[in-house]
A and B are shown apart, each in its own frame.
Chain A
Amino acid sequence: GENVEQHPSTLSVQEGDSAVIKCTYSDSASNYFPWYKQELGKGPQLIIDIRSNVGEKKDQRIAVTLNKTAKHFSLHITETQPEDSAVYFCAVDDMRFGAGTRLTVKP
């Protein structure tokens, strides 16, 4: 089955800095790569996604890049704010999740 690895497991940044989270996957046939944000005690929320025919997608402070050849994709958050603090999960084809990254943005 699909193997999804996510790094780092924890990330602490200063407010205003950028944060980057990376995921790698094993199945070259995978086509859909969403990122979810989960706050404590809540369900995950889709924040951005990308499909295999696109290399980069941006939505305000959030961007996702995809390298299909290398089978990895990354979440980029710029100008981080304390409310960005949460656990972020990558997923592949909607059903296989990475282990999660706990992002802490220090004011």
Chain B
Amino acid sequence: GAVVSQHPSWVICKSGTSVKIECRSLDFQATTMFWYRQFPKQSLMLMATSNEGSKATYEQGVEKDKFLINHASLTLSTLTVTSAHPEDSSFYICSALAVRGQFFGPGTRLTVL
């Protein structure tokens, strides 16, 4: 139990395009999901907390208009990187909060050319 999936697992896009990443809790419902960003050999940095049916809460320094989060159902949250630029290239990881704790997706590697 407590499986979280992410799609796509990797994506390469041109500068200026938008990319959507999906995070799904497969066998449980999650009213709260988190989005993290991880640079090579660094720790996870919390970007935002996604709450089902309400607006996401963004961490200081994270542009909400750049990183759009939608948590439309109890099993799905999406992160859209708008007008992506090379500096947005990173490993994006979501997690879903279950009764037993926080469970992470496998991550999405975004490369912006």
Contacts and interface: CB of A to CB of B under 8 A. Distances in A.
A binds B: yes
Interface of A: 32, 34, 36, 41-46, 49, 89, 91, 94-100
A78 to B, nearest CB: 23
Given A44-B104, A45-B104, A89-B44, 8 more contacts: A43-B93, A43-B105, A44-B44, A44-B93, A46-B102, A89-B43, A95-B34, A100-B43
Contacts of A34: 101-102
**Interface size range on B against A:** 10 to 19
Contacts, number: 44
A36 B104 contact: yes
Nearest to B91: A41
A42 B101 contact: no
Given A43-B93, A94-B97, A99 B43 contact: yes
B54 interface: no
A42 B102 contact: no
Nearest to A93: B102
Contacts of A98: 43
Nearest to A34: B101
B71 to A, nearest CB: 16
Contact of A42 (B34, B46, B49, B106): B106
Contact of A43 (B43, B49, B107): B107
A43 B34 contact: no
